[in-house]
Amino acid sequence: MRRDLAAGSIVSYEPMLGGGRKRAFDLAVVVALLPFWLPALLGAALWSKFTTSAPVFGMKRCVGYGGRSFNRLRLQLAKSPTAEASAADEVLETSQVKSTEAQPQAKWMHAFERLPELVNVLRGDMSLVGPSPLPQENLDQLKSGRRYYLSARPGVFGISRLVDRAHAESQHKAYALSWSLMLDLQIIWDRVHGFRNRGRLWQPGLRLNRVVPGLALEERREIVVRKRSAP
């Protein structure tokens, strides 16, 4: 019998959400695409080196699976990073609907800045899909979603589209209870497909009420999360 997920401090059907299957999927995809993303990363790093005075790479201390901390890697492509810009970036990543008006090049710059996170995936700190990495101070603000967040590796592709903005904390529970490799693929496709929407940043397109088991969207776009159980 699978244990009741709400009973443990770390919520997963396995020691880590997805277990070996999810890790094997992450490594297979990242290694297969290495000839594409590594030259892009090196080229962006060189461009940053010669066009900005800021350090090429930045690190931010975040909390990962089981409460273990790690350094999240980022490229510094902005000419003069400020606290205000950093705060705006956090809002961008944790926003439940990525439909903010932006210039087309903004989303490409944001994507290049996040290429070093694929190194975090290779090191085992992050996964391709999972909760947006949170620093300790933001994690402390979570309530019921805390143990669900700690059951999975943080992701390069976030899971905020699993719920509406009003139910932000439910995204961690929804993902933990509904995880499958197919769901990860659909989240990746939704984010990549967002590049085709001109003038909008990460325009969502996923019909989650048809994709995620255990989630039902009412007419007012509210979320109902139900636990699944299986023998």
HSE of 26 in the Cβ direction (CA atoms, 13 Å)?
27
What's the start-to-end Cα distance of the chain, in Å?
5
Report the distance separating Cα 162 and Cα 131, nearest Å: 11
Supply the pTM of this predicted model. Answer: 0.72
Q: Is the dihedral of CA 202, 38, 61, 178 positive or negative?
A: positive
pLDDT (tens, 9 = 90+) of the chain, 231 residues, equals 344 444 444 444 446 788 889 999 999 999 999 999 999 999 999 998 888 877 889 999 999 998 999 999 999 886 544 433 444 444 445 443 344 344 667 778 888 999 999 999 999 999 999 999 999 999 988 888 898 999 999 999 999 888 777 677 788 888 988 899 999 999 998 888 776 664 444 444 454 444 444 444 443 333 344 444 444
What's the pLDDT score for residue 24?
A: 95
Smallest CA-to-CA distance from 5 within 131, 129, 130, 147 is with 147
Tallying the residues shown for the chain, one arrives at 231
**HSE on the CB side for 155, CA within 13 Å?**
26
3-state secondary structure of 224: strand
- Residue 87's nearest CA partner among 149, 143, 138 is 138
Query: Can you list the alpha helix ranges (DSSP code H) found in the chain?
Result: 19-32, 34-51, 83-94, 104-113, 117-123, 136-139, 146-149, 170-178, 181-193, 208-211
Distances (CA, A) of 6 to 55, 110, 144, 176, 227: 43, 36, 9, 11, 9
d(CA 42, CA 148): 35
Count of Cβ atoms closer than 10 Å to residue 95 Cβ: 17
pLDDT, position 111: 87
> How many angstroms separate the CA atoms of 227 and 218, rounded?
17
